[in-house]
Chain A
Amino acid sequence: AQSVTQPDIHITVSEGASLELRCNYSYGATPYLFWYVQSPGQGLQLLLKYFSGDTLVQGIKGFEAEFKRSQSSFNLRKPSVHWSDAAEYFCAVGELKTSNTGKLIFGQGTTLQVKP
């Protein structure tokens, strides 16, 4: 069965420092991959997505992610974190290639805390 693992439950970084959030997936084919951000009490906002092509994907708010097939990973990065980036981040894989429903499988999430 397809699955998504985010190994880090909580991460704390200082404002201005670089950030990398890890995501590993288990999937039989080249997956559709997503990163979402959720601020407290809010819904999910799409940061970026990977379907095919260039394995380095640029997203909103200065985020990027790199798809590495050999490592089954899709890690999210940002060179310089801002206090407003404190939120929960979810990695997800799309099941369209195996199910035709377009549903997403989410990781458990990583809570990012930003120190001033």
Chain B
Amino acid sequence: NAGVMQNPRHLVRRRGQEARLRCSPMKGHSHVYWYRQLPEEGLKFMVYLQKENIIDESGMPKERFSAEFPKEGPSILRIQQVVRGDSAAYFCASSPPPLANYGYTFGSGTRLTVV
């Protein structure tokens, strides 16, 4: 049973380009979370999704960031017009229901570098 798969592992983008980060949850997991880890900091919640629904996006920056979890395929975190401050590690986690078990499994992350 493969774990949470994130790709790419490393992504370099020039300022102003778009970054697309992918996350394939574990089989049977219907909840997906995205977290961001800035250098020297802990992880900060960004967004929580279920299939075709954004449940909580209270941690997402208001502009340039979006996330989706379509009926088929991986969850995508999209960052438009990237800036240097977007450089960070982005982690995806998936969890099966019920939420109360907190059965999180984290992926290995995508490390985004904006040059």
Interface on A for B, CB 8 Å cutoff? 4, 6, 32, 34, 36, 41-46, 49, 51, 90, 94, 96, 99-109
Contact = CB atoms under 8 A, between A and B. Distances in A.
Interface stretch (B14-22, B37-45, B66-74, B75-83): B37-45
A109 B42 contact: yes
Given A43-B91, A43-B109, A104 B99 contact: no
A46 B91 contact: no
B108 A101 contact: no
Given A43-B107, A44-B91, A106 B43 contact: yes
B43 to A, nearest CB: 5
Contact of B42 (A46, A99, A107): A107
Contacts of A34: 102
B56 A103 contact: yes
Contacts of B100: 96, 102
B56 A101 contact: yes
Contacts of B108: 41-43
Residue among B31, B42, B59, B100 facing the most chain A CB atoms (10 A cut-off): B42
A110 to B, nearest CB: 10
